[in-house]
Amino acid sequence: MSTTVLNRRKFIAALSLGTAHVLFSDPLVAAAKPMRSTDPLQMVKLGQSGLETSLIGVGTGVHGGQRSSALTRGGKDSAIGLIRHAYDRGIRFFDCADTYGTHPLVAEALKKIDREKITISSKIWVRPGGIPETERPDADIVVDRFRKELNTDYIDIVQIHCMTEENWTDTQKRQMEILEKLKDKGVIRAHGVSVHSLDAMKKAVSSSWVDVIHVRINPYGIAMDKPEPKEVVQVISQLHESGKGVIGMKLIGDGKYQNDSQKIDNAVKFVLGLGSVDMMIVGFENADQIDNYLSRTENALKAL
């Protein structure tokens, strides 16, 4: 197949025919919003949230739950070394959550860094399970604990974690209102949601409350909201067009193809080529992976 330049309409059409998989080896050029440079560490704006951060971020929740993750289980020194290496390479976004247990590690690793130079995201957990306690205090109480754990006066983004219900904007109305007040006070800079179903994602499109959203996106439909990416891509485009900051996660299918180099390259190029994902987070487990993904992302940007 010859190299093909795809605009968004042609790309969506290819997805609808189930043929996108044969296109992944070619550049996917999104006409709507090309990247400004081939720098994998370029700074990008998260929609209309007012936040600007690096194109690539560190996800600290690999195999996370019950305040444990690959980083916490790998030992304090290893985790701090990874986070510091990411910062030293130019990554400025660090993604946390109450379920990951990584707040103290991020705080320790970045304690001598100018706070204004980094973006810290975290998520409150409101569902059953997930964290050791059965109680679910209101967001202001939880965010106050987060700030102490992170040793920071403010948190850039606080989201409601793992929403799957179509009516989450109704069931979480109280927490949304509390987070809005915290934003007005400067305790947090933006709020939003991390979604784990297409229905929940669709609801976020029409919610003016959502500043920033985490979405699961890759070209293979693995650990994603639909086994075929077409509809997911369409909703993500709507989110982006509505001014929301869009953060892509699960690029390698929750690690399902982490040892398949070609699929990783395809996924990076796919997500960057959409033009509707502002930045992507990767759950790095060692410093070498950071260097590897920066190289892959640079190559993808050059191809695009």
**Predicted model pTM:** 0.91
In 112-187, alpha helices (H): 139-150, 168-171, 173-185
Average pLDDT over residues 113-133: 97
pLDDT value of position 8? 54
Ranking 26-35, 88-97, 184-193, 196-205 by mean pLDDT, the lowest is: 26-35
Spatial contact of 32 and 275, defined as CB atoms under 8 Å apart: yes
pLDDT value of position 263? 94
The answer on pLDDT for 252 being more than 60 is yes
pLDDT digits (tens, 9 = 90+) for 12-38: 555 444 444 444 444 333 333 455 699
Angstrom CA distances, 64 to 59, 81, 292, stand at 10, 19, 23
Structural domains in the chain, CATH included, are 8-303 (3.20.20.100)
DSSP state at residue 128: S
The answer on pLDDT for 6 being more than 50 is no
198 Cβ contact partners less than 8 Å away, ≥ 6 residues apart: 225, 226, 231, 232, 235
> Which of 168, 163, 59, 174 is closest to 106 using CA atoms?
59
Q: How far apart are CA 207 and CA 5, in angstroms?
A: 34
Average pLDDT over residues 269-281: 95
pLDDT higher at 34 or 116: 116
pLDDT digits (tens, 9 = 90+) for 146-168: 999 999 999 999 999 999 999 99
Spatial contact of 180 and 189, defined as CB atoms under 8 Å apart: no
Angstrom CA distances, 143 to 129, 146, 222, stand at 19, 5, 32
Q: How far apart are CA 113 and CA 129, in angstroms?
A: 34
Spatial contact of 150 and 122, defined as CB atoms under 8 Å apart: yes
The answer on pLDDT for 297 being more than 90 is yes
